[in-house]
Amino acid sequence: MKNKKGVTIYDIAQELKVSPSTVSRALKDHFSISKEMIKEVKKVAQKRGYRPNSIAASLRNNRTNNIGVIISWINRPFVSSLISGIEEEANKAGYNVIISQSHDSFDNEVANARALYDSRISGLVVSLAMETQSYDHFNPFIQNNIPVVFVDRVADEFNSDKVVIDNFAAAYMATEHLIEQGCQRIALACGSQYRNIYRERESGYLAALREYNIPIKDEYIVHSDSLNAQEGFRIAEYFLSMETPPDAIFSVNDTAAVSFIQYAKEKGIKIPEELAVIGFNNDPVSLIIDPQLSTVSHPAIEMGKLAAQQVLKQSQYKDVVKSEAIMLRTELLVRASTKRK
Amino acid sequence: MKNKKGVTIYDIAQELKVSPSTVSRALKDHFSISKEMIKEVKKVAQKRGYRPNSIAASLRNNRTNNIGVIISWINRPFVSSLISGIEEEANKAGYNVIISQSHDSFDNEVANARALYDSRISGLVVSLAMETQSYDHFNPFIQNNIPVVFVDRVADEFNSDKVVIDNFAAAYMATEHLIEQGCQRIALACGSQYRNIYRERESGYLAALREYNIPIKDEYIVHSDSLNAQEGFRIAEYFLSMETPPDAIFSVNDTAAVSFIQYAKEKGIKIPEELAVIGFNNDPVSLIIDPQLSTVSHPAIEMGKLAAQQVLKQSQYKDVVKSEAIMLRTELLVRASTKRK
DNA sequence: TTGTACGCGTTATCAG
DNA sequence: CTGATAACGCGTACAA
């Protein structure tokens, strides 16, 4: 009794001796259909196990119920939480979420964007790859009124919605905190300057040093394209084998910060007395490392939700080009790795 | 000059004064089309910026280029790595990946399955929710020849492809290792018995104890529906405030194991001398906690790749119902948290 | 080797 | 309030 070909609105129409249009409208509670008809249609639909064919609807409307997401690496706490937020909001509105990883490569990002475009997503959420410097691959979306919302790693040069945190303020706070703990030689482990988040954090760091009249030393600033654990150890080695090593390090992510602590512990360097370390993101590891890592909160789930909301909102108003930038607050989380006093 | 309505095969056909079907065929290198024609068509397609409308194709073929994934929580290292593997394999084959989280709730899982079914995915990868005991929500897929592949948390009762590890053997190894370290009172922190992975790990644990003639004590076995950090602390408190506390704990995940270590350290209990702790999964935290956590490797990316491959393979052979079970090897990773000798 | 014609399931438009 | 019809873009059986 299982219909190889699923039940369509035609089948229901036939059974009720009405037209398919009536069924179509009844199923979406169209105001022009009588209450009784709606009830009848839905009853039969239920009975026959009707499931709407969203592909057909998509073809007709030229848009799917899918939201695309391009992120760097899904297996990072910040990123997976971001996706979680996006998914929650999207599902609530009846949308599915298609994810794709750029692995921080520009070419991948371009390929992903194209694949998502081809699949007719009705909106896109992007956190840019480290390498990305050109944004042409997002033009097809804009030209076809498909909303593009950037999250966290955004493109200043590209006019579209953005959801970010105040990286400058956060970095300023973090650096100021180190200064208040009495640190004088504060190093910075930073990321690619192509990305706003790292540029802004560096600016915040520099501004704090200037504000407190602490000399800025180039050798205390390191840029890395991938602040992973391995790189973290490499940078730690560099800093801690200097003639005058820093007495504090501000790392723009927790992964590297944790490596700094591990390296220092290995070398018998006391934290935070001899070396204070502060990270960024509030990853789970920041509470596992001993001493616990001071860091800056990064409201991933909230950012994901807001990004999804923006996408959904924008996809309502066609032809309206008003781009919005949402900036969330972050918090300084002071823990043992910097608490000197 | 931008076409509001994208370029279609009709536009190309018109420009070349051939029929749409020729274009359609040429674009997929159909053998019946001449080399020159293929070249010409592709040239024009390129020039006009033609992008195939996969929705239209999907409607025709009644299947999309999307693979659905249902997992518990995306922001867990094992899960996000799993997705990463799925995504990589899927993309390679020109498929996109739609993810949805069950948050370990049965109702969510059912809703997600339905949403994915409605969106006409061409295959599904599932890691079951903790709560799930009935599998009827996967029947629509089977009935319509949409392959369903279970990963890690599988349904023994449901006939379909599976990708798993040898949980029994892994747990046996882990327990045996504790015994070899001289532990005599080995506790188990386990998960929901609805899920194969926890049942099997418990069996492995019990088998090892029996093999070595160590008495099995019920009070040394705890089951929790969500082995998160908070639960971990609760369980640690329970174990370590017993009259005769265990001298070792085997935790079926690293999250709880890490909490055990943290709790024990707080209480001044020496690890591994007074309490040996071993986890499961090889999460990043296992290398961050001090002492580093012994654990069992869990090849997440590999499992994801294999699951995706199974889905893709199955979606080729319609009407062939041959379900396969793939079992991957795991490794015991001995670290400081258990190394007594 | 190429063309014609129809159908996939839905929905918007227009007519009643 | 309801119905008929045309489209959305592509793929394919059938015809030439």
- A71 interface with B at CB cutoff 8 Å: no
What pLDDT digit, counting tens, does each position of A235-276 carry? 999 999 999 999 999 999 999 999 999 999 999 999 999 999
Sign of CA dihedral B21, B22, B26, B31: positive
CATH of residue B111's domain is 3.40.50.2300
Would the pLDDT of A110 be above 60?
yes
- Return the pLDDT at A6: 79
Quote the DSSP letter at residue A296: E
Domain tally for chain B?
3
- B99 interface with A at CB cutoff 8 Å: yes
Answer yes or no: do B160 and B176 share one domain: no
User: Is residue A98 classed exposed, middle or buried when 0-12, 13-18 and 19+ CB atoms within 10 A define those classes?
Assistant: buried
**Residue B146 falls inside a structural domain:** yes
Answer yes or no: do B123 and B188 share one domain: no
> Are the Cβ atoms of A74 and B59 closer than 8 angstroms?
no
- Return the pLDDT at B3: 41
Answer yes or no: do A191 and A263 share one domain: yes
Would the pLDDT of A3 be above 80?
no
Distance B24 CA to C11 C1' (A): 26
Those of residues 117-146 in B touching chain A at CB distance below 8 A are 117-120, 140, 143-144
**Residue A244 falls inside a structural domain:** yes
Would the pLDDT of A191 be above 80?
yes
Answer yes or no: do B42 and B118 share one domain: no
User: B145 near B134, Cβ under 8 Å?
Assistant: no
The first and second tokens of residue A45, run together, are 């639909």
> How confident is the model over A197-218, as a mean pLDDT?
97
- Torsion angle (degrees, nearest 10) of CA A12, A17, A20, A23: -60
Answer yes or no: do A315 and A216 share one domain: no
- Return the pLDDT at A2: 37
**Residue A122 falls inside a structural domain:** yes
Would the pLDDT of A145 be above 80?
yes
Tell me the pLDDT band of A341, cut-offs 50, 70 and 90: confident
Answer yes or no: do A42 and A73 share one domain: no
Answer yes or no: do A47 and A36 share one domain: yes
CB contacts of B115 in chain A (<8 Å) are: 91, 94, 96
Amino acid at B200: E
Q: Nearest-CA distance from B60 to chain A in Å?
A: 9
> Are the Cβ atoms of A55 and B52 closer than 8 angstroms?
no
Answer yes or no: do A305 and A324 share one domain: yes
Tell me the pLDDT band of A33, cut-offs 50, 70 and 90: confident
Query: A208 Cβ partners below 8 Å, 6+ apart?
Result: A171, A172, A175, A176, A179
Q: Using N-to-C axis directions, what is the helix angle for B77-92 and B300-314, rounded to 10°?
A: 40
Q: How many CB pairs under 8 A join A and B?
A: 124
d(CA A183, CA A105): 37
By percentage, how much of chain A surpasses pLDDT 70?
Answer: 97
Chain B interface, mutation test: which of A76, A119, A288, A295, most B Cβ atoms within 10 Å?
A: A288
Query: B224 Cβ partners below 8 Å, 6+ apart?
Result: B189, B190, B191, B192, B231, B235, B256
Q: Nearest-CA distance from B157 to chain A in Å?
A: 22
d(CA A186, CA A179): 8
List chain B pLDDT tens, one digit each, 341 residues. 334 557 899 999 988 999 899 999 999 888 888 888 899 899 999 999 899 999 999 998 888 999 999 999 999 999 999 999 999 999 999 999 999 999 999 999 999 999 999 999 999 999 999 999 999 999 999 988 899 999 999 998 898 999 999 999 999 999 999 999 999 999 999 999 999 999 999 999 999 999 999 999 999 999 998 899 999 999 999 999 999 999 999 999 999 999 999 999 999 999 999 999 999 999 999 999 999 999 999 999 999 999 999 999 988 765 555 778 999 999 999 999 999 87
Q: Nearest-CA distance from A89 to chain B in Å?
A: 12
Answer yes or no: do B199 and B291 share one domain: yes
- B2 interface with A at CB cutoff 8 Å: yes
Task: Report how many helices (DSSP H) and strands (DSSP E) chain B contains, helices first.
Answer: 13, 12
Amino acid at B229: A
Q: Domain range spanning residue A243?
A: 167-298
User: B293 near B337, Cβ under 8 Å?
Assistant: yes
φ and ψ of A240, to 5 deg: -85, -5
Of B52, B56, B66, the CB nearest to A98: B66
- Return the pLDDT at B321: 58
Answer yes or no: do B156 and B91 share one domain: yes
